[in-house]
Amino acid sequence: MLWSSYEVTGNLPQALSIKPEYYSWMREYIRGFNMLSSMRTYGMQANPISFSEIIRYIEVYRPHDPERFIDLIMKMDRSHLSTLAPASTNKSKG
């Protein structure tokens, strides 16, 4: 949506101009998080990625450092869920 706005107006929205830097070592964690996140369960809201799913992922894909993988995936998941929490709280109040 923002990109199409940029294509029409030629003005780059601030949200598109602030991109995080990605390094090659991050690929393994980003790929793992995206795959695991797509398998999460939902109730009234998104549930955390289950530890058993992370362990199953490690068994299949064998990340370079399993302990670090678990730590970073869980941190990424908490951060992701915290960005979703305000939206679900606002929906229930409206």
Lowest-pLDDT range, 20-24, 58-62, 63-67?
20-24
Tokens of residue 74, six digits = 């869980």
Fill in the DSSP letter of residue 43: S
Tokens 């993988």 belong to which residue? 69
CB 30 within 8 A of CB 38: no
The percent of residues above 90 in pLDDT, for the chain, comes to 61
Give 46 or 92, the one with higher predicted confidence: 46
Give 2 or 22, the one with higher predicted confidence: 22
Domain boundaries, the chain: 20-81
Residue 47 has pLDDT above 80, yes or no: yes
What is the spatial distance between Cα 37 and Cα 49, in angstroms, rounded to a whole number? 6
pTM for the structure as a whole: 0.72
Helix (H, G, I), strand (E, B) or coil at 19: coil
